[in-house]
Amino acid sequence: MSQVEVKVPDIGDYKDVPVIEVLVKAGDVVAVDQTLITLESDKASMDVPSSKAGMVKEVRVKVGDTVSAGSLIVVVEEGAAAPAPAPAAAPAPAAPAAGKVVEVKVPDIGDYKDVPVIEVLVKAGDVIKADQTIATLESDKASMDVPAPKAGTVKEVKVKVGDSVSEGRLLILLEAGANAAAPAAVPAAAAPAPAPAAPATAPAAKPAAAASASVTPAGRAHASPSVRKFARELGVDVSKVPGTGQKGRITQSDVQNFVKGVMTGAAPAAAASGGGELNLLPWPKIDFSKFGPIETKPLSRIQKLSAANLARNWVMIPAVTYHEDADITDLEALRQQLNAENQKSGVKVTMLAFLIKASVVALKKFSAFNSSLDGDNLVLKQYYNIGFAADTPNGLVVPVIKNADKKGVIEIANETSELAGLARDGKLKGDQMQGATFTISSLGGIGGTGFAPIVNAPEVAILGVSKSATKPVWDGKAFQPRLIMPLSLTADHRVIDGALATRFNAYIAQLVGDFRRAAL
């Protein structure tokens, strides 16, 4: 039997991607395409499958490590099968420790500190098994499950949802081995079947109940943290999603297919919308080649990532679009004057920079627009981060100007130019596209007279800008040629009613009409 090295395959332009989950250990028997580890970058998450079948001899990575294409993951002995009795011996050491209360702390999670707890999956009195997830953590860049190091009974839970934890923080007090006589431990004891036994039972379980096959004995769906985060962002209860991966594991594709089913009426919508079903006709399946020549092109990575978010926002946000015309004749003259004065320094002030500054002033006056819905609460933000849609060869992305209220128009113009360049080159970092409180989508450089932009959740409004045009405007005595810029504001009607939206839009028009007001 030969030993082979399994490495990270080609993952595109991603480098130094954190490992957030290691799903195998030495002695496990793995099949081809079985997931070995889960990676999550600032922009995407991915499962890394095994390219070989056999027994894992050595695992070369751990949670918190960063890997790139070609990084060694595991060493596999091809064709090897694990001895039947060997896995059963693993839980044995827990028995002598029965009755001893141990502290379960946050393990080594790399450089991450003060990571929010988003799920606590156990409570006092629960009987748990070794490696059962007790809490889920999620930072801006990654999410991770924290497993129990041994079996036992939970005596006390020391954290709650919303707490921030770092390595070494106490999570629970566990009476090790205390599940030996507990009736509730029967299903849990049967669950930690060794890896070799799973292939024999998984095929039988899936046909009987696809959804339940993807749920752990603790009642929690079997999915990686990145998949859970993806499901939460779509408003999907992951426990309702049938898993098709190894041992019924839920994959990102499973979540996407579930959402597609909801959108087409093929799956219950209760998990996403809170009740009822979408009784829509199935999506038509058509062989377009019957009507003429066709070319099939895959969606870009950006389009794939955006599709589900846009569909969720469009379906779940009761949005209304309001239109306003802004007279920017004087502002355009000022913009051209500033660019002429700063021509040698290379500074180029855009209308977008003025709009960002005007938006900040309007957000301070109308605070509801700088908020997010959180259940029955409205979170009013005291910071002003403005996103702007940037056109790239692979699709639209939204870079964010952080703390725009503390920056001048010229500084904002320089930053938007720099971020737009990074976006076109595909070099934007994840944190450069996060944290926006309000977004501007400007099509002024292309054309159009108006459109209805989609609100970018969890924001509650977005401002669309179309191409400016010179129009005759009556000044009380005669028609004067004025440069008019169309504004299209889409707002979440649950937070912002029509009167408030119209006032906000009119105020933006007033600010860009006489930018001196922005200094008041």
CA 204 from centre of chain: 33
Provide the 3-class DSSP secondary structure of residue 239.
helix
pLDDT tens-digit map of 487-519: 999 999 999 999 999 999 999 999 999 999 988
Backbone region of residue 375 per phi and psi (left: phi > 0; alpha: psi in -120 to 50; beta: other values): left
Q: Which residue has the higher pLDDT, 376 or 86?
A: 376
User: Whose CA is closest to 131, among 212, 217, 50?
Assistant: 217
pLDDT band at 43 (very low <50, low <70, confident <90, very high): low
Q: What is the pLDDT of residue 363?
A: 97
Is this model's pTM higher than 0.75 or not? no
Q: What is the pLDDT of residue 50?
A: 87
Q: What is the pLDDT of residue 401?
A: 97
Q: What is the pLDDT of residue 33?
A: 80
Question: Contact, 220 vs 121, CB < 8 A?
Answer: yes
Give 191's DSSP letter. Answer: S
Tokens of 432: 């450069």
Average pLDDT in the 88-105 region? Answer: 60
Q: What is the pLDDT of residue 53?
A: 87
Q: What is the pLDDT of residue 222?
A: 64
pLDDT tens-digit map of 379-417: 999 999 999 999 888 788 999 999 999 999 999 999 999
Percent of the chain with pLDDT over 90: 41
Lowest mean pLDDT among 243-247, 356-360, 490-494: 243-247
Average pLDDT in the 180-192 region? Answer: 37
Percent of the chain with pLDDT over 70: 77
Using the Cα atoms of residue 250, residue 253, residue 255 and residue 260 in order, give the sign of their dihedral.
negative
19 has a pLDDT exceeding 80: yes
Non-local (6+) Cβ contacts of 501 within 8 A are: 320, 322, 461, 489, 491
Which ranges in 343-449 belong to alpha helices (H)? 351-365, 409-424
What distance in Å separates the CA atoms of residue 57 and residue 393, rounded to the nearest whole number?
Answer: 44
Non-local (6+) Cβ contacts of 368 within 8 A are: 378, 380, 460, 495, 496, 500
φ, ψ at 251 (rounded to 5°) = -105, 170
Strand-pairing partners, residue 172, are 104, 157
The single-letter code of the amino acid at 265 is: G
Q: What is the pLDDT of residue 277?
A: 40
Q: At 412, which helix (H) or strand (E)? A: helix 409-424
* Catalytic machinery residues: 493
pLDDT tens-digit map of 432-457: 999 999 999 999 888 899 999 999 99
Provide the 3-class DSSP secondary structure of residue 91.
coil
Tokens of 328: 């920017």
Q: Which residue has the higher pLDDT, 412 or 63?
A: 412
Q: What is the pLDDT of residue 44?
A: 58
What distance in Å separates the CA atoms of residue 23 and residue 149, rounded to the nearest whole number?
Answer: 15
Q: What is the pLDDT of residue 49?
A: 85
Strand-pairing partners, residue 371, are 380
